[in-house]
Amino acid sequence: MINVNSTKIIGYLQKMFEMKVITSILFITVLSGCTSQQSAYRAAKGEGSGYKDVALAENHYRVQFKINGPARRAAQKYALVRASELTIAQGYDWFVVEKRTLRTLNEPDPFESTPSPIATRNCGLLGCRTQTQLPAQPMDVPDTETFATMEIRMGRGVRPEKESYDAREIWEAQQKENNAQSQ
């Protein structure tokens, strides 16, 4: 026979176990969200986000970085980081950006207004009740993608001044940023 106190204790322990499970799930979810943000810089797989590059000549490349969302600055930064990595890997010191494009597909309209809520009032014998809800949003809203594309020409020695970048400077700055984020 189980007395009332032991039933309360068992119920309490079950609730504590449930809370630990919920807390663990939330912690894992938050942790996985943080890691996915840090892994935005990577090689693209198929048509996914990340960088791609194509050799146009021995020291001439096209570098593209695709990112999900309207993050124009991030796409441009990661394209520069990839250009610097590629330049160093090919044995060059600097690169010149000969052509640069930036485009965002399916960008949301910043002037589009949010729908007004709809209020419904229902009255009965015991009084009235008001309900407020937002109108249904279309489910087929396309995802926003941002592409930063650059054609670069690599070189060694004295760096030209116009639209040129020191590959090691950019790469080292990115490494410092990565180290700061991981701490």
Tens digit of pLDDT at every position of the chain (183 positions): 555 566 777 766 676 656 554 544 544 554 544 444 445 888 889 888 899 999 999 999 999 999 988 788 999 999 999 999 999 999 999 999 999 999 888 765 556 666 677 778 888 788 888 887 776 665 555 578 899 999 999 999 999 887 799 999 999 998 888 888 877
Tokens, residue 92: 């060059």
Neighbouring-strand partners of residue 53: 63
Please choose, from the candidates 39, 41, 64, 53, the residue with its C-alpha nearest in 3D space to the C-alpha of residue 90: 53
Q: Which residues contact 40 (CB under 8 A, 6 or more apart)?
A: 49, 50, 67, 74, 78
pTM of the model: 0.61
Token output for 41: 């810089």
